[in-house]
Amino acid sequence: MKKLLSTLLISAGLLLSAQIGIKTESPKAKLDVNGDANFRNKIVVLNTTDNTLFQGNNDQLLVSQGEGFPPTWKTLRIPEYEPNKFYLIFNNSFSDKTGVKFTNTEQSAITSRSTAFAKGNDITGFSGFKKIDGLSQPITVFSLESKTYFQFETVVQATFPANTSPDISIDYACGIFVDNKLVNLRQRNLKASSASNTFITHNQIGVVSNLSKGSHTISVACSRLKSYNTTSDVVLAIGINASSNINDFITQSSLKVDVYEVPQVFNSITN
């Protein structure tokens, strides 16, 4: 059995079509409550797309649709953080077409690689290494518990002639540095092939855990380590072409950085 407030209000001398005020004589909405309002049950709003009344699906929030429209129930599209789980917080990716080149005399003086290429070593000890300019970039870590993942790819080329016996080749290395400290290094040998000006694609994946909170500078530096049976005019190029059979577009470098964190500080999503 339904009973209308409007009939009550008519009996109280108010108009049916008028706006109704609770504790106010000049309501500014169809129902204007000058005070708090309590809802012991669900709030239901009109869904204007299909003209149905909707009390929201589970876990939805009431969102304003602006002047003249009923608010609507919406699902929040951000993760529900669970404790002790890693989430992708920072991610970015960088590219470079300038690369680095090494002549026959620009060779690393490092003799004991296992000592020199230890994690945490400062770049000042990496004799003969050159940074790839466009890949020196800032990253930010927001938690004490994190994993920073690097994926680096470039092309390495040398102005070799066609291979002879014994083999013509060059040892080279690329290191990923955080704040000029080594976190990951790969070395490889580029060997001449039956064609001149041999090139290879260099792939490198590295991970470092628990960088300190705040800003860090990442960089990639490479070096020519040792040459075997090369003539004095052989140039090694990393992230750039050494010969015109390829170009700097083909040899461009890419460095992707993802930081996974167990979030420790949370911010409100509203302002």
Partner 1 sequence: MKKIFFVKSLLLVIFAHAQVGINTSSPVNMLDVNGDLSVRKEIRTGGTNLLKGSAGEAGTMLHNNTDLAANDWKSVKIADGQGSMAMFSMNSVSDKTGAVFNNGNGSTAPYSEGDALGSTWIVLAGNTDTFSITNMTNKVVFSFQTTAQKTGNTTSSSGFACGIFVDNTLRAVRTDVLLGAEGTYKIFNLNATLTNLMPKNNYSVKVACTKRNLNSGTLGVGTAVNTTFLNSEMSQSVLTTSVLQPY
Binding residues among 127-146 for partner 1 as defined by CB under 8 A: 140-143
Q: Is 195 near partner 1 (CB under 8 A)? A: yes
If one asks whether residue 6 binds partner 1 (CB under 8 A), the answer comes out as yes
Q: Are 209 and 221 in contact (CB under 8 A)?
A: no
Whichever of 136 and 254 has its CB closer to partner 1, that residue is 254
Binding partner 1 (rule: CB under 8 A), the pick from 84, 165, 166, 266 is 266
Of the candidates 94, 102, 126, 129, which one interacts with partner 1 according to CB under 8 A? Answer: 94
Label residue 13 left, alpha or beta by phi (over 0 means left) and psi (-120 to 50 means alpha): left
Q: How far is the CB of 108 from partner 1 (least distance, A)?
A: 26
Q: β-pairing, 199-209 with 45-47? A: unpaired
* Residue 153 is a binding residue for partner 1 (CB under 8 A): yes
Q: How far is the CB of 50 from partner 1 (least distance, A)?
A: 15
Stretch that binds partner 1, among 31-39, 116-124, 168-176, 181-189 (CB under 8 A): 31-39
- Mark 37-56 with x for binding to partner 1 (rule: CB under 8 A) and - for no binding: xxxxxxxx--------x-xx
Q: Which stretch binds partner 1 (CB under 8 A): 112-120, 167-175, 223-231, 251-259?
A: 251-259
Q: In Å, how far are 107, 118, 203 from 253, measured between CA atoms?
A: 21, 24, 10
Q: Is 217 in the site for partner 1 (CB under 8 A)?
A: no
Question: Does the footprint of partner 1 cover residue 12 (CB under 8 A)?
Answer: yes
Task: Supply the minimum distance, in Å, between the C-beta of residue 86 and partner 1.
Answer: 11
Sign of CA dihedral 224, 230, 231, 233: negative
Rounded Cα distance between 238 and 45, Å, is 62
What are the distances in angstroms from CA 114 to CA 70, 101, 111, 122, 125? 68, 24, 9, 14, 13
Q: Which of 73, 128, 179, 188 binds partner 1 (CB under 8 A)?
A: 73
82: contact with partner 1 by CB under 8 A = no
Among 26-34, 104-112, 121-129, 177-185, the segment contacting partner 1 (CB under 8 A): 26-34
What's the CA gap between 204 and 154, in Å, rounded? 9
User: DSSP secondary structure string, 143-197?
Assistant: SSSEEEEEEEEEEEEE---S--SSPPEEEEEEEEEETTEEEEEEEEEEE--SSSS
The SS3 call for residue 8 is helix
- Residues 231-250 touching partner 1, rule: CB under 8 A, are 241, 244-247, 249-250
